[in-house]
Amino acid sequence: MKVAIYIRVSTEDQAREGYSIRGQKKDLTDYCRSNSLEVANIYIDDGYSAKDTNRPKLKEMLKAAANNEFKAILVYKLDRFTRSVRDLYDLLEKLNKFGVGFISKQEKFDTTTAMGRAMIGILGVFAQFERETTAERVRMGMVQKALEGKKPGGKYPYGYDEQGSSLPKEFSVLRQLRALYMEGLSYQSIAAHFTRLGIKRRRYNWTANTVALTLENPFYAGIIRFGSKLPNGKYPQRKREERVDVVEAEGSHEAVWTIEEFNEHIELMRRRSTGGFGRINTYWFNGVLRCGRCGSAMYGRLTTKRSLKDGTAIRSAYYWCSRRKENKSCDMPMFRQTHVEHLIFEHVKKIITDNELIDSDKKKFAAVEQKRQDSIKSLEQDIKKVNARIDKWQYAFAEEIISLDDLKKRMDEEKKSLDILNAKLDKIKDSNKPQINDTIFNLPSLWKMTNDEEKQDIVCAIFKKITLHTEERNVKGKKNTFFPATAEIEYR
């Protein structure tokens, strides 16, 4: 019968206690010879704990088991495989589905026999008991932490370091995020604005979803919450054993905004989601509009109410430079929203009719994307080479070709190389793929059929940056409707 040998050593202490790679390998190969077992492969996890099943060679072995490359797995002792009854039961259930047995030399545990298979059922009872008692202990501990004003678990969110201390630069971004939302920008517009400025949420670009989740997070208002509650006060659908009461307490951490500010923007989010966010508060081009004079962002504002002859009160949307708004350091005139719309459609019409420009852009984007894909392939190949070298160092140690000190030195070097390569790969994969958005060619007809929110989404999906240019400075009265200006546009 073909068997796979699995060996695990996590610390030097275990090596001194007789669990060394060399010791396990010798005992298990001798066991195979004396029991007429054929060794199909040897899998070695060096430096990994048995606290969970997240081990590279264990995963590789389970994949081979699914492919019927052997009929049983042989370990020196049960704790070499796992230290959790629950994990052991789950692993044995998985192996049973593959038709693969499990043998532990020290405990004489063998699921290839009738008695060994009966043990799986007994393990299942203990696994369920362990699962429930662990969940209960964890839940009680997390509730107590929340009541004490401490974060009950998990990583601290954006804005805080690993110890829960505030990060001034990220706090500034969070306050800016809320200010943009209160000024009328949508989640998507805020995300696009931050992406254009190169502001990331840790290593990743902001998205509409992460903007919304940030605004909804009570932690930023100094509130520790354990348990889930929907905005309407109802609980989400959960299994009975997972349902817990919501615990809220004042946290000991520094808050980004006050509870009053939190309640204010939560209420605004609810109004917008239920249709209470009217047309008059939507600015189509927020998040992508830039001042061509100073380079700052341009934001929407409304004129004061004026009445038509029939008594209808109206307010018009304008855009103004943020520097002009904050400290009057820029003299860029304000633009009507209809003026910006006109400038953009004039530009779009030229793009649609200019076939040569379209072809040129497609070729340029295709070349950039090909270079990106080549870089990804090259990095993935380099990662495979490093993993192959790690395997060779482990087997060299098992065969006593190199010492333990040499192995540790080599493994440290290879792991550093892996970290660098994986970081580069993540960066390239996270980068936006350049492409021509086909929506632009249907924009004139599509624009007429959309409401304000949909217009805003379309703008953020198509345009990366719209920079307004004009020689005008002091524009007043009717002249402010359409004055000489141009729009410089960058597409996503």
159-189 pLDDT per residue, tens: 999 888 999 999 999 999 998 888 777 888 8
E strands within 357-462? none
75 or 369: which leads in pLDDT: 75
Residues 190 and 265 in one domain: yes
Residues 241 and 94 in one domain: no
Residues 19 and 115 in one domain: yes
For position 240, what pLDDT does the model report?
38
CB 425 within 8 A of CB 384: no
Separation of alpha carbons 462 and 439, rounded Å: 7
Domain final residue pick, 75, 103, 130: 130
Residues 210 and 289 in one domain: no
Residues 156 and 198 in one domain: yes
416-449: burial string, b at 16+ Cβ within 10 Å, e else: ebeeebeebbeeeeeeeeeebeeebeebeeebee
Question: Can you tell me the mean pLDDT for 426-444?
Answer: 63
Tokens at 237, concatenated: 């659908």
For position 120, what pLDDT does the model report?
64
CATH of the domain at 181: 3.90.1750.20
CB 269 within 8 A of CB 215: yes
Q: Which of 76-85, 183-192, 250-259, 275-284 has the highest mean pLDDT?
A: 250-259
Q: What Rg value do the Cα atoms of the chain yield, rounded?
A: 31
Question: Can you tell me the mean pLDDT for 11-19?
Answer: 54
pLDDT band at 3 (very low <50, low <70, confident <90, very high): very high
Question: Can you tell me the mean pLDDT for 17-32?
Answer: 82
Domain final residue pick, 277, 295, 311: 277
Task: State the virtual CA torsion across 111, 115, 121, 126 in degrees, nearest 10.
Answer: -90
Tokens at 266, concatenated: 């939560």
Catalytic residues: 10
DSSP structural state of residue 17: I
Separation of alpha carbons 93 and 124, rounded Å: 9
pLDDT of 279 above 50: no
For position 41, what pLDDT does the model report?
92
Q: Provide the domain limits for residue 94.
A: 2-130
Question: Can you tell me the mean pLDDT for 293-315?
Answer: 74
For position 423, what pLDDT does the model report?
85
Question: Can you tell me the mean pLDDT for 217-245?
Answer: 59
366-390 pLDDT per residue, tens: 777 788 888 888 888 999 888 888 8
pLDDT band at 234 (very low <50, low <70, confident <90, very high): very low
- Asked whether residue 203 is assigned to any structural domain, the reply reads yes
pLDDT of 225 above 80: no
CATH of the domain at 108: 3.40.50.1390
pLDDT of 209 above 70: yes
- Asked whether residue 138 is assigned to any structural domain, the reply reads no
For position 431, what pLDDT does the model report?
58
- Asked whether residue 139 is assigned to any structural domain, the reply reads no
Question: Which of 15-19, 297-301, 381-385 bottoms out in mean pLDDT, i.e. has the lowest?
Answer: 15-19
**Angle made by CA atoms 77, 79, 82, in degrees to the nearest 5:** 125
pLDDT band at 480 (very low <50, low <70, confident <90, very high): low
Residues 107 and 186 in one domain: no
pLDDT of 250 above 70: yes
For position 228, what pLDDT does the model report?
54
pLDDT band at 231 (very low <50, low <70, confident <90, very high): very low
**Angle made by CA atoms 388, 392, 395, in degrees to the nearest 5:** 140
Backbone angles phi, psi at 390, to 5 degrees: -60, -45
Separation of alpha carbons 2 and 4, rounded Å: 7
For position 224, what pLDDT does the model report?
83
Number of domains comprising the chain: 3
Question: Can you tell me the mean pLDDT for 268-282?
Answer: 57
Name the burial class of residue 8, with classes exposed (0-12), middle (13-18) and buried (19+) by CB atoms within 10 angstroms of its CB.
buried
Report how far apart, in Å, the C-alpha atoms of 450 and of each of 447, 453, 457, 458 are.
6, 8, 10, 9
Tokens at 298, concatenated: 């341009």
pLDDT of 238 above 50: no
- Asked whether residue 140 is assigned to any structural domain, the reply reads no
CB 283 within 8 A of CB 319: yes
Question: Can you tell me the mean pLDDT for 294-299?
Answer: 86
Tokens at 28, concatenated: 């298990």
pLDDT of 451 above 60: yes
Residues 300 and 445 in one domain: yes
Tokens at 425, concatenated: 């790969």
- Asked whether residue 141 is assigned to any structural domain, the reply reads no
E strands within 316-391? 317-321, 335-336
- Asked whether residue 468 is assigned to any structural domain, the reply reads yes
User: At 476, which helix (H) or strand (E)?
Assistant: none
The amino acid sitting at 171 is: F
Residues ≥6 apart with Cβ < 8 Å to 78: 88, 104, 106, 107, 109
- Asked whether residue 137 is assigned to any structural domain, the reply reads no
Residues 21 and 96 in one domain: yes
Name the burial class of residue 162, with classes exposed (0-12), middle (13-18) and buried (19+) by CB atoms within 10 angstroms of its CB.
exposed
Residues 186 and 334 in one domain: no
For position 434, what pLDDT does the model report?
43
Q: What percent of the chain shows pLDDT beyond 90? A: 19
pLDDT of 264 above 60: yes
Separation of alpha carbons 470 and 324, rounded Å: 15
Residues 108 and 237 in one domain: no
- Asked whether residue 108 is assigned to any structural domain, the reply reads yes
pLDDT band at 78 (very low <50, low <70, confident <90, very high): confident
Domain final residue pick, 237, 252, 277: 277
Residues ≥6 apart with Cβ < 8 Å to 59: 53
Separation of alpha carbons 301 and 316, rounded Å: 8
307-338 pLDDT per residue, tens: 666 666 667 788 888 888 777 889 999 899 88
pLDDT band at 232 (very low <50, low <70, confident <90, very high): very low
For position 474, what pLDDT does the model report?
78
Residues 269 and 324 in one domain: no
Residues 456 and 315 in one domain: yes
Give the CB-side neighbour count of residue 405, counting CA atoms within 13 A: 0
